[in-house]
Amino acid sequence: MAPHYKLVLTTCENQDVARQLAKQLITQKLAACVNILPAVESVYMWQNEVVQQTETKLFIKTKSEKINKMIQTIKELHSYEVPEIQVVDVTAGNLAYFHWLDEVLN
């Protein structure tokens, strides 16, 4: 199976912001499903300082042809100056799930 399906990872400052972003991605048919993990501890370097904070993690399921628009939309809607946006190829999985994903994102 070619990497036709993608998993996009991002973080948000809290659950409310994550829910709003998820709803926009679903409404615009850029994602078929978004899983929201309410609390992840993040430690990172920002402006020469170590930052430690609780964030909300999103796992976004989509198709290759939606990626460019999704990245643009996340950047436009995100509250962070430099949002995390990582795109992972999905190379195998449940074919029935992928058929559902195709139906939802048509």
pLDDT of amino acid 2: 53
The H or E element containing residue 46 is strand 33-46
Three-point CA angle 71, 10, 99, nearest 5°: 70
Full-prediction pTM beyond 0.75?
yes
Tens of pLDDT along the chain (106 residues) come to 456 999 999 999 999 999 999 999 999 999 999 999 999 999 999 999 999 999 999 999 999 999 999 999 999 999 999 999 999 999 999 999 999 999 999 8
* Architecture of the domain delimited by 5-104: 2-Layer Sandwich (3.30)
